[in-house]
Amino acid sequence: MRRSPKPDWLRIKIPAGEDLFKLKKDLTSRGLHTICQDAKCPNMSECWNKNHATFLTLGNICSRNCGFCSVETGQCEEPDKHEPEKISEMVKIMGLKYVVITSVTRDDLSDGGSAHYKKILDKLKREFPDLKVEVLIPDFKGDQKAIETVLQGNPDVLNHNIETVRELYKSVNRKEENYKISLSVLKYSSSRKFITKSGIMVGMGETTGQLRELFSVLLENGVDILTIGQYLQPTPENIKVKEYITPEKFLELKEMAETMGFRAVESGPFVRSSYNASALYSKVSGGS
């Protein structure tokens, strides 16, 4: 069966330009990865031409196989001990004031890679005192010690994606246990007084009622910032899109989330976890 053609509002500009080419070259020469490339983010052209990228640490091979993600799954390599220095170099080259650090899931590591996150945070905070750093972390299997290790690096925002409504976890190769673990990550981070953020994808078969329930649960677990974006099937092997959500519906979801109590919301077809991250942080922090 042929997939339905994407609607006009999902047409994207092909990444191009000298600045984009130079940024790719700088990243490649340092052996660095970005989630922009590895997860086929639709905002790559817009963000990279603004010299903004979300760094993908701990390699580009994931230990899990979620049905919606295009990041490669397989045998993971040892973490690059020089990665903090390499990321620091790129922050300086790009002149960043706000950076997002994320990673693949590393269930093969005893601490899930949390100590690696802290090393990167310590390096960036030490060398760039005014730099704001957001971390988009995996669930670390709910290990509170691992979460605490990351928080000791003093990130400005702790982001962990819930991804979808509880009812659809099984359909995306996740267990309900993972849903509960994700909520525990968010709750613990909020309890430690960190700005806490989460993101979801829509168009996977969820209902408005299920989304409302999820928003309520996220608020109960201390989430300050919410991002809502369209799920786009990255490869033929990933789960199929059930529905293309209209821009008008995204606006309705944004208004619903704000009315329910989120302090900042970004909602739109191309919205991803780190999209407009600096502006969302400023809204919650008061620009500090």
Q: How many domains does the chain have?
A: 1
Report how far residue 119's alpha carbon sits from residue 222's, in angstroms, rounded to the nearest whole number: 26
68 domain residue, yes or no: yes
pLDDT at 39 over 50: no
5 domain residue, yes or no: no
pLDDT value of position 176: 80
The model's pLDDT over 137-168, given as tens digits with 9 standing for 90+, comes to 999 999 999 999 999 999 999 999 999 999 99
267 domain residue, yes or no: yes
38 domain residue, yes or no: yes
Confidence class of residue 2 from pLDDT cuts 50, 70 and 90?
very low
Instruction: Kindly state the percentage of the chain with pLDDT values over 90.
Output: 58
What is the DSSP pairing of strand 264-268 with strand 225-230?
Answer: parallel
123 domain residue, yes or no: yes
Dihedral angle sign, alpha carbons of residues 256, 197, 76, 177:
negative
Report how far residue 64's alpha carbon sits from residue 178's, in angstroms, rounded to the nearest whole number: 12
1 domain residue, yes or no: no
Element (H, E) at 199: strand 196-202
245 domain residue, yes or no: yes
Structure tokens at 19: 């600045």
pLDDT value of position 1: 33
Report how far residue 268's alpha carbon sits from residue 166's, in angstroms, rounded to the nearest whole number: 21
71 domain residue, yes or no: yes
User: pTM (2 decimals)?
Assistant: 0.87
HSE-CB for 164 with a 13 A CA cutoff: 23
Q: Which CATH number does the domain housing residue 131 bear?
A: 3.20.20.70
Domain that holds residue 243: 15-285
The model's pLDDT over 202-254, given as tens digits with 9 standing for 90+, comes to 999 999 999 999 999 999 999 999 999 999 887 777 788 999 999 999 999 99
